[in-house]
Amino acid sequence: MSLGAVFLALGIGVLLGVALGENGVVSGASKNLEKSLRGDLNDARSTNSGLRHELAIRDEYEQQTYEPLVKDLLSGWRVGIVAMGGLPGGYAGQVSDAIEPAGATVDSVSVIQSPLPLGRLASEMKGTGLGRLDRSMDQLQRFGRRIGRQLVNGGSLVGRLRHDLFSGSRGEYRGLDGVVYVHEANGLDGRDKQAQDQFETGLLEGLKDTQAGLVGAETTQADPSQAGFLADQGVASVDDLDLTAGKTALVWVFADGASGQFGVKDSAQHLLPKPPDQGTAQRP
């Protein structure tokens, strides 16, 4: 913005000089103004060059220090990514970049359809105690709770409904140590929104019923932020997954079971949770 202002002022100065020159009254004042503006432009360029150099040093420092900060904190962990409605591009890679230096791997990725295909799901559940989930909000919430538990612990239901419930999935549901949850804003309204809200409440309850760690995550570009929604659901969150600080927070929350909202947005309570004890961090 400062550089843009300098360019604007320089342009005004040049136009002023041309206008005065046409009348044969170019003054020393306009020449001094132009000289001053050119000096400001050179200073701005020099400052920007210095800042770019400082950022390059900071980025290199973060890359070299990140692994020692998280090394072995999640050794052997299997982590799943669960997204409601959609998984923005790059999120799976960001999660992998965060947890792999800590010794963990992404074991499964599950993207739940939005709006939910209630008719197909009810048809699949026909003859069970959840056969009317397309008409009963209570059954729909109980269905969400069962799905949440089986996404972590495994079970026949997620396998049976894999093609109806998920818009995308990969990996095996064989027991997870941690779940990264992504809640994407959507434009649903009316019954579709009511159904998704009910299901999602049950889904998060089911995930929390297990022994797996649970962290909500988004990047700094996510707008609007979903940290408030996650806080209301009692889920710890990280709002800057694309930054080294956010990756550190994600691993530390898993390792120490910290609660709260972490990151750089207004909704964050702290940038980072308390560092876990390297000697006591263990699988849940």
Of 40 and 233, the one with more pLDDT: 233
Same domain, 227 and 257: yes
47 and 151 share a domain?
A: no
Tokens representing 212 are 């797996």
How many domains does the chain contain in total? Answer: 2
The residue among 68, 93, 122 that closes a domain is 68
The answer to whether residue 45 is domain-embedded is yes
Same domain, yes or no: 23 and 99:
no
Q: Residue 132: name the closest of 143, 144, 148 by CA.
A: 143
The answer on 235 and 250 residing in a single domain is yes
Flag the least confident range among 44-58, 175-189, 234-248: 44-58
Q: pTM higher than 0.85, yes or no?
A: no
Residue 282 in this model has a pLDDT that exceeds 90: no
- pLDDT tens sequence across 194-216: 999 999 999 999 999 999 999 99
The CATH number of whichever domain residue 228 belongs to comes to 3.40.50
Question: pLDDT class for 39, splitting at 50, 70, 90?
Answer: confident
The answer to whether 26 touches 57, Cβ cutoff 8 Å, is: no
272 domain-assigned: no
* Domain end call among 17, 40, 68: 68
The per-residue pLDDT for 43 is 74
What pLDDT is recorded for position 17?
Answer: 58
Selected residue with higher pLDDT from 186 and 265: 265
Which pLDDT score, from 0 to 100, does residue 209 have?
97
Model confidence pLDDT, tens digit, residues 74-94: 999 999 999 998 999 999 999
96 and 207 together in one domain:
yes
Say whether 44 sits in a helix, a strand or coil. Answer: helix
Question: 113 with 177, same domain?
Answer: yes
Within this chain, do residues 199 and 253 fall inside the same structural domain, yes or no?
yes
The pLDDT score that the predictor gives to residue 279 is 55
Assess whether 152 and 246 both reside in one domain.
yes
pLDDT tens for each residue of 203-250: 999 999 999 999 999 999 999 999 999 999 999 999 999 999 999 999
254 shares its domain with 177: yes
118 in the same domain as 236: yes
Q: Supply the pLDDT for residue 62.
A: 63
Task: Indicate whether 33 and 88 sit together in one domain.
Answer: no
Task: Confirm whether 235 is domain-assigned.
Answer: yes
pLDDT of residue 152: 97
- Proportion of the chain above pLDDT 90, given as a percent: 71
- What integer is the mean pLDDT of 176-192? 92
Model confidence at 9, pLDDT cuts 50, 70, 90, reads low
The helix/strand/coil state of 284 is coil
* 49/77 same-domain check: no
- What residues make up the domain containing 43? 2-68
Asked if residue 117 belongs to a domain, the reply is yes
Average confidence (pLDDT) over 101-118: 96
Domain boundary among 68, 100, 118: 68
Peptide bond into 276 cis (omega under 30): no
CB 101 within 8 A of CB 71: yes
Tokens 């998984």 sit at which residue? Answer: 87
